[in-house]
A and B are shown apart, each in its own frame.
Chain A
């Protein structure tokens, strides 16, 4: 039973995975879209690259898709602040279409830069509203003050995320690569908002050390509040995460592949999302 699904209607026939259309949104500087597309293709879905210009010029339409995926990269160079330019352009052009998309319960996934975009847009953390006018959180520069490309350990939390069931119970590892990944909430509302996020089951997973303890740097690579590595909105249909699932999809991508570790958490994440979509639509 998936908690808190917005407007769920469980029906007799499920949607076939091969009919699920995913839009991978990009602008100049998005650079993880190819491997993201490959991962979804391997699971049998129908992923497609969609440039923001194509949505603006109405060559393609959001309503034709069941999932919107904003992949990682350096959209617009990450200039000014990571994700802010991409977010501003989305807000100025396709806001109403995107709002409708989310209200229909369709999935929006933001990985790394995509997560930054969703935060800057105000769609995440999504504690109360579907869309906040001004950003209510930030993914700030890492406390180490440098770009960090490394593998880290994660542990899942009890959440309303669509992949909660498909992720393993034990500690698992995925790679991160970012300079601005430190999850922070506004100082004056931090305690309140964090409690709400926990209560609502919005935390997808948290950074841990190899024994599963919530530790500091380098296990928490960026100094995120409460070691938060990924969250979803309170309805569970908009998700953002800093680790890269498309880079932990095939066994040979695993850092410890030759040491016998062939876990593929990225695959479990995408799988969970696609299963959710097929049940819902």
Chain B
């Protein structure tokens, strides 16, 4: 048995690892035994580096490299794709990208900051803790740009509640348990830190039964002068660790997220945490106070990879190095080895870079808030990361080597159902039955059982609420709007969109549709679409078909955004969402922000009056691929709706102009479930019915008219007296007059044929179905 570990010090547990003499098999075994999750090529590269240095690495060095190089930390597989299609859309409002969160100009003096991230793998294992720590992490990302968090977004994808237990790998919970845990985790964390959860989506499909997706986003605001960079660019700056203490939590959590689940897998016990919002809440106060007093030079949040990633990234970006004294780090567990301290992922921690003359004042602020703040190191001129533990040097590595992990150009195959064109034409249905099936489908039905568990009113700035209309019979809104400053009338509209049914069939067109929907939602609230964050949830990138999906999705997301000059200011990729060799459908989630110039002019979805006119904007096409209607009944279609950029643009500009002139009383976009669902939601929220005739919609079948989910369409309510003005502003836009509001029923005819006649109360009752 060859001696692999060489103990360096009698008192403290520090080891050299004799990697230079290892053969390939031994390298593989080492990676496995130490939980490094590095492949053979990567191990070889490390071995060469140390052969070149003429020494062996310490265990601290090896763990640090493994962590930095893991998929999660440097997007090994996806960087290339993202750079090509998504990153770099030129737009004047972009203030800062490439740091912990994207920063966008709001006006001359203010910026807003946002990001969306995934916490998929931890939530599958421990849903409450996984979701809660996801929220905690994203808040910190926004906070560490110097911004005050003002809204949370959660986009969740759950499986089939009745999924057979035996198909679920050991250690993964069943979908119902996961659902309850995730909702509770987000609720308990978000409510306690006092940031309103206002937007998001909740999607159910059996494809997510063993791979839940938890995407969380956060939006913050601050004065331009207070934006803090995520880097340090001077030597001699103090590195101050603030927030929670460091323990063994989450060790190897980052590497863990870079692997798929397998049956009978023994899951890392240390990869799970619960999060502590009551440490976070005063931390937010202390940081914002310090930002306000201009005491912070640079700041970064400790997420995946812990101290190891954060210090490395902070100094690499600034062109300096750092010296850290591991024994200074406040610990919550005894006998931690130096490598454990360095890569721990304990929650609620941030790293602040503070100049000497500002240090005392900062430490006092933190002391008043009862939040730990400890000086643990300093930046140095050499571009190296040097760690000491009780005076013993345990790491001395070049910052470039550690943090610029390998970028792969993985092989890809473009292959998906949408490449062949086919669509079955089902027999015409019993409309009452379809209506019931669609309204009660968990992807359409009333989400108040989730939304009401989140305090979406805290901070008093939620002007357009996620549930609104007549008190007592509220309906879903399109894009909620927050008023971030009490002294400005500006609002930020927030939306999150995804369309897994479409992207599974045709990733390119489906992705274009996801962008289209984000634009539609924002415009519905009278917001100008301003910026995006993308979150790509994919399967196993080692499968060329999955890489192909990634390419096509990136291509689609980039194309529409580029056309409308809406930049992606931050993004996230989650790979390896796969169990037993079966990947999730490619699921891009978008988070979109729009600017509302005056919150008094927001537009909501609920019908305001009787005898108003109802118009549909833009035509309906018979592209049924990915539609809920076809999905429920198992009909096949590869025709995912495309996006006509010109029609989208013309409609968008005209609608916003009409809203500016107070012509549009209510507006709702057409998406899941088609026109019927849109009309229903507008009536449900108001108690005012409508009489609609579909005959003016293009020459397609009635069921397609009602249930098609083709893109770029809205329904608007116009006061009769304003019709002329409306038509003038909308000149050049494809309009279809549908009918009038009034009464307490929804009556839908197609020409002479009577299709639907239902009382709003009955529609509402069906829509109020809660998934069992």
A147 touches B606 (CB 8 A): no
Q: In the bound complex, how far is the Cα of B602 from the Cα of A252, in angstroms?
A: 10
Instruction: Report if B463 contacts A (CB, 8 A).
Output: yes
- With a CB–CB cut-off of 8 A, which chain B residues contact A259? 469-470, 606, 608, 686
Query: Which B547-583 residues have C-beta < 8 A from chain A?
Result: none
Residue of A nearest to B472 (CB): A210
Instruction: Report if A90 contacts B (CB, 8 A).
Output: no
A31 touches B194 (CB 8 A): yes
A29 touches B281 (CB 8 A): yes
- With a CB–CB cut-off of 8 A, which chain B residues contact A153? 471
Q: In the bound complex, how far is the Cα of B35 from the Cα of A74, in angstroms?
A: 39
- With a CB–CB cut-off of 8 A, which chain B residues contact A177? 191, 455, 457-458
Contact of B453 among A35, A72, A147, A253 (CB under 8 A): A147
Q: In the bound complex, how far is the Cα of B455 from the Cα of A45, in angstroms?
A: 28
| Given A29-B192, A147-B452, residue A256 in contact with residue B458 (CB < 8 A) | no
Per-residue CB contact flags for chain B residues 397-411 toward chain A (1 = under 8 Å, else 0) read 000000000000000
Per-residue CB contact flags for chain A residues 60-83 toward chain B (1 = under 8 Å, else 0) read 000000000000111011110000
Instruction: Report if B318 contacts A (CB, 8 A).
Output: no
B457 touches A256 (CB 8 A): no
A32 touches B452 (CB 8 A): no
B454 touches A149 (CB 8 A): yes
B458 touches A257 (CB 8 A): no
Residue of B nearest to A34 (CB): B459
Instruction: Report if A244 contacts B (CB, 8 A).
Output: yes
A253 touches B460 (CB 8 A): yes
Q: What is the number of residues of chain B that contact chain A, defined by CB distance less than 8 Å?
A: 42
Query: Which A156-213 residues have C-beta < 8 A from chain B?
Result: 173, 175, 177, 209-210
Residue of A nearest to B686 (CB): A259
B281 touches A149 (CB 8 A): no
Q: In the bound complex, how far is the Cα of B455 from the Cα of A72, in angstroms?
A: 12
Query: Which B187-233 residues have C-beta < 8 A from chain A?
Result: 187, 191-194
- With a CB–CB cut-off of 8 A, which chain A residues contact B603? 258
Residue of A nearest to B487 (CB): A38
Per-residue CB contact flags for chain A residues 70-110 toward chain B (1 = under 8 Å, else 0) read 00111011110000000000000000000000000000000
- With a CB–CB cut-off of 8 A, which chain B residues contact A149? 451-457
Q: In the bound complex, how far is the Cα of B461 from the Cα of A51, in angstroms?
A: 23
Instruction: Report if B660 contacts A (CB, 8 A).
Output: no
Q: In the bound complex, how far is the Cα of B477 from the Cα of A258, in angstroms?
A: 13
B460 touches A146 (CB 8 A): no
Query: Which B361-390 residues have C-beta < 8 A from chain A?
Result: 368-370
Chain B binding surface, main DSSP class:
loop
Contact of A255 among B453, B460, B468, B599 (CB under 8 A): B468
Residue of B nearest to A79 (CB): B278
Instruction: Report if B486 contacts A (CB, 8 A).
Output: yes
Instruction: Report if B72 contacts A (CB, 8 A).
Output: no
Instruction: Report if A132 contacts B (CB, 8 A).
Output: no
Per-residue CB contact flags for chain A residues 19-47 toward chain B (1 = under 8 Å, else 0) read 00000000011011011001100100000
Residue of A nearest to B456 (CB): A149
Among B456, B458, B604, B606: residue with most chain A CB under 10 A: B458
Q: In the bound complex, how far is the Cα of B369 from the Cα of A257, in angstroms?
A: 38
Query: Which B462-492 residues have C-beta < 8 A from chain A?
Result: 462-463, 465, 468-472, 474, 483, 486
Among A31, A32, A246: residue with most chain B CB under 10 A: A31
Instruction: Report if B282 contacts A (CB, 8 A).
Output: yes
- With a CB–CB cut-off of 8 A, which chain A residues contact B277? 29, 74, 77
Residue of B nearest to A76 (CB): B278
A77 touches B452 (CB 8 A): no
- With a CB–CB cut-off of 8 A, which chain A residues contact B451? 149
A31 touches B281 (CB 8 A): yes
Q: In the bound complex, how far is the Cα of B470 from the Cα of A153, in angstroms?
A: 12
B608 touches A35 (CB 8 A): no
| Cβ of B682 to closest chain A Cβ, rounded Å | 13
Residue of A nearest to B602 (CB): A258
Residue of A nearest to B459 (CB): A35
| Cβ of A178 to closest chain B Cβ, rounded Å | 9
Q: In the bound complex, how far is the Cα of B602 from the Cα of A255, in angstroms?
A: 13
Instruction: Report if A148 contacts B (CB, 8 A).
Output: yes
Residue of A nearest to B481 (CB): A252
B470 touches A256 (CB 8 A): yes
Instruction: Report if B600 contacts A (CB, 8 A).
Output: yes
| Cβ of A205 to closest chain B Cβ, rounded Å | 16
| Cβ of A94 to closest chain B Cβ, rounded Å | 17
| Given A31-B281, A32-B458, residue A147 in contact with residue B187 (CB < 8 A) | yes
| Given A77-B192, A148-B452, residue A247 in contact with residue B460 (CB < 8 A) | yes
- With a CB–CB cut-off of 8 A, which chain A residues contact B469? 256, 259
B368 touches A51 (CB 8 A): yes
Residue of A nearest to B461 (CB): A35
| Given A147-B453, A151-B471, A255-B465, residue A35 in contact with residue B460 (CB < 8 A) | yes
| Cβ of B470 to closest chain A Cβ, rounded Å | 7
Instruction: Report if A115 contacts B (CB, 8 A).
Output: no
Instruction: Report if A249 contacts B (CB, 8 A).
Output: yes
Q: In the bound complex, how far is the Cα of B595 from the Cα of A67, in angstroms?
A: 38
Q: In the bound complex, how far is the Cα of B603 from the Cα of A71, in angstroms?
A: 31
Identify 7 new A-B residue pairs, CB closer than 8 A, beyond the known A35-B461, A78-B192.
A28-B281, A31-B192, A32-B460, A39-B460, A76-B278, A219-B472, A253-B460
Q: 24 pairs across A/B with beta carbons < 8 Å?
A: A28-B278, A28-B281, A28-B369, A32-B459, A32-B460, A74-B192, A146-B452, A147-B191, A147-B453, A153-B471, A175-B457, A209-B472, A218-B472, A219-B472, A244-B457, A244-B460, A246-B460, A253-B460, A253-B462, A256-B471, A258-B468, A258-B602, A259-B606, A259-B608
A-B interface, 6 closest residue pairs, ranked by CB to CB distance from nearest: A31-B194, A35-B460, A177-B455, A77-B278, A74-B192, A28-B282
